[in-house]
Structure 1
């Protein structure tokens, strides 16, 4: 009943927004409209990788979801086009969801998730369903709810898409490994990442995949997830190993991911007693990421607290304190 009510509400909103007073001219909605939306979606993806977690990205993605939905009632269209429009709306809404998650705005993220899930059901697009449930798993992991995270990630992993495409299977397994790390399940963590690596090696990278998948999932992201998992487990040498692999392989556009991996590397080094090396690593995080990305800012605050507890009244702490002070004048 709740899903029918939500879907009905979305359709009603689309109809109201699409009704232009006095405009009775017929219009044919086609793949050119879908292609235009896909270009805007690529822009949202690029903005997310540069900045991450920004309210502006969330709001723009939500507005584009409404724009895609409004086209459903702006004219006639084939069933194929209508499915693609629903998929586009779901994709934009899932990007709004991800921006809210990355910015630690979890209540808002849940609202985006519910709308994205309803739209994805109408689209019958398995790849966007996978993305939404994967985001849900990450959200619950960040919220410290590993059981819910595993349940959400299992929905993504049980889609037939993961049986057809080893790269989707790899991503689902890597996310599962990160969740197991949060849950302190060392054996399951190791097994999941071994399976994720095997699946990635089986994948044919020449196959067609959606732009959001091509833009971020590769060996660097797999190592980034392993870094997160082993850091949570307290296996700091393994975390540092995956951090170096991740940073060496990251593509230039992955600005947000580089800041996160660098900060996690600093934590792993500090936990091994290398305060000077850890501080030097943390100082490589850009001022914009340190001050404008909620997740990075929180991790750096935790790093500073751990540094002061580990090496109190040292020149290293003074160096870090002075460096943090420069962020106020460089941003």
Structure 2
């Protein structure tokens, strides 16, 4: 699906295929007997749903993307998938920027900074700081934006 997205960008068939994958993972989860298997299936469903949300963003269907990202966050939390939670908050920050809503973009970017994955992965931490800097800059707070860029660089 990532290759399809890279080749064609966001479109309805990518979103549909991603959501079908998520539903299949959730159906399999109902039959799972062990907690680790259930968690992996929730993670997979969350990842598929995040891909569908990204496709919706690419198609500029921001309301739809937000609904999908709410679902992504629930599934990622059930699966203990901090990277997918980070991805969801990162995408919510993008939506806030596209909607010219610096406060919602900043809230999502700061939430991404607090995810466990950013404490473990310097690349994700840097990306979260860049998203924060973008939101701060869009809101007119240039000094704090520059400070966030400095943190991203570190």
Q: Same-fold call, TM > 0.5?
A: yes
The Cα of 1:65 is off from its aligned counterpart by 0.8
Aligned partner of 1:157 in structure 2 is 113
Equivalences, count: 154
Larger Cα-atom Rg = 1
Q: Is the 8 A contact 2:32 2:38 kept in 1?
A: no
Shift in Å, 1:114: 1.9
The alpha-carbon deviation at position 182 of structure 1 amounts to 2.0
Partner of 1:318: none
After TM superposition, the runs of 4+ consecutive aligned structure 1 residues lying more than 3 A away are: none
Aligned to 2:2: 45
Indicate yes or no: 2:70 matched with 1:108.
Answer: no
Compare the two structures and name the one with the higher helix fraction: 2
Aligned counterpart in structure 1 of residue 95 of structure 2, from 139, 144, 147: 139
Q: Deviations over 1:234-264 (max 9, x none)?
A: xxxxxxxxxxxxxxxxxxxxxxxxxxxxxxx
- Residues in 1 aligned to 2:63 and 2:37: alpha-carbon distance in whole angstroms: 32
Q: What TM-score comes out, normalization by structure 2 length? A: 0.92
CA gap 1:76/1:159 in 2 versus in 1, 3 angstroms: closer
2:133 to 157, 160, 177: 177
Cα drift, residue 191 of structure 1: 2.1
Contact 2:92–2:105 (8 Å) recurs in 1: yes
Alignment partner of 1:127 is 2:83: yes
- Structure 1 CA distance, aligned partners of 2:35 and 2:115? 23
Report what 2:28 is aligned to.
71
* 2:73 alignment counterpart: 117
Structure 1 residue 129 displacement after superposition: 0.9
Cα distance 1:180–1:49, how it changes in 2: closer, same or farther (>3 A)?
Answer: farther
Equivalent-residue separation in structure 1 for 2:147 and 2:8 (angstroms): 32
TM-score, with normalisation over the residues of structure 1?
Answer: 0.44
Instruction: Tell me, in whole angstroms, the C-alpha distance in 2 between the residues paired with 1:45 and 1:173.
Output: 25
Distance across 2 between alignment mates of 1:118 and 1:76: 19
Secondary structure (helix, strand or coil) at the match of 2:10 reads: coil
2:18 pairs with 1:61: yes
Q: CA RMSD in A?
A: 1.4
2:54 maps to which residue? 98
Higher relative contact order (CA closer than 8 Å, sequence separation 6+): 2
Structure 2: runs of 5+ lacking an equivalent: none
* Counterpart contact for 2:54–2:65, Cα < 8 Å: yes
Partner of 2:37: 81
